[in-house]
Amino acid sequence: MMGKWQTMTAGLALIQTNPKREADRRIWRVAGPAMLANISGALVGIVDIWAIGHLGSEAPLAGLAVGTFFMINLYVLFSFLYMSTVGFVAQSFGFGRRRQIIEVTMRSLVMAAGLGLLVALLSPVLRELTVRVWNPSPEAAEAASTYLGIRMLSAPAIFMSMSIEGFLIGTQRARISLGLDLILNALNTLLTVTFVVGLGWGVAGAATGNLIAEWGAAAAGVAWLVRLIRPARSAATVRRAGFWHLAHFREQATVNTFLFMRTLCVQIVFAMMSVCGARLGDEVLAANHVLLQLVFVATLAIVGMSSATQTLIGEATGAGDRALFYFWSARTAFWSFVVAMAMTLVYGIGGGAIVAAFTNVEGVLAAAERQLHLVALWPVLAVWSYQFDGIFIGATSAKPMLWGAAAGALVFVVLQRLLVGPLGNEGLWIAFILFFITRGVVLVACYRGLGQKIGQPRARENDVSRVAF
pLDDT in tens, 278-308: 788 878 877 887 888 889 889 999 999 999 9
pLDDT in tens, 177-221: 999 999 999 999 999 999 988 888 988 999 999 999 999 999 999
pLDDT for 179: 92
Q: What does the pLDDT average to over 444-458?
A: 79
Distance in angstroms (rounded) separating the CA atoms of residues 17 and 330: 18
Range name among 6-15, 119-128, 357-366, 411-420 with the lowest pLDDT average: 6-15
Q: Which residues contact 444 (CB under 8 A, 6 or more apart)?
A: 384, 388
Angstrom CA distances, 299 to 35, 39, 302, stand at: 10, 10, 5
Q: Is 307 among the domain residues?
A: yes
Nearest to 119 by CA among 151, 149, 148, 155: 155
pLDDT for 376: 95
pLDDT for 320: 87
Confidence of residue 467 (pLDDT cuts 50, 70, 90): very low
**Higher model confidence: residue 28 or residue 271?**
28
pLDDT in tens, 98-136: 778 888 888 899 999 999 999 999 999 998 888 888 777
Are 126 and 177 in the same domain?
Answer: yes
pLDDT for 453: 83
The amino acid occupying position 244 is W
Are 148 and 295 in the same domain?
Answer: no
The answer, yes or no, to whether residue 356 has pLDDT greater than 80, is yes
Are 222 and 283 in the same domain?
Answer: no
Q: What's the domain count of the chain?
A: 2
Q: What average pLDDT is seen over the chain?
A: 85
Domain boundary among 197, 226, 244: 244
**Higher model confidence: residue 382 or residue 45?**
382
Distance in angstroms (rounded) separating the CA atoms of residues 149 and 131: 12
> Checking phi first, is residue 136 left (phi over 0); if not, alpha (psi -120 to 50) or beta?
beta
pTM of the model: 0.85
Q: Which domain holds residue 97?
A: 11-244
Q: Is 465 among the domain residues?
A: no
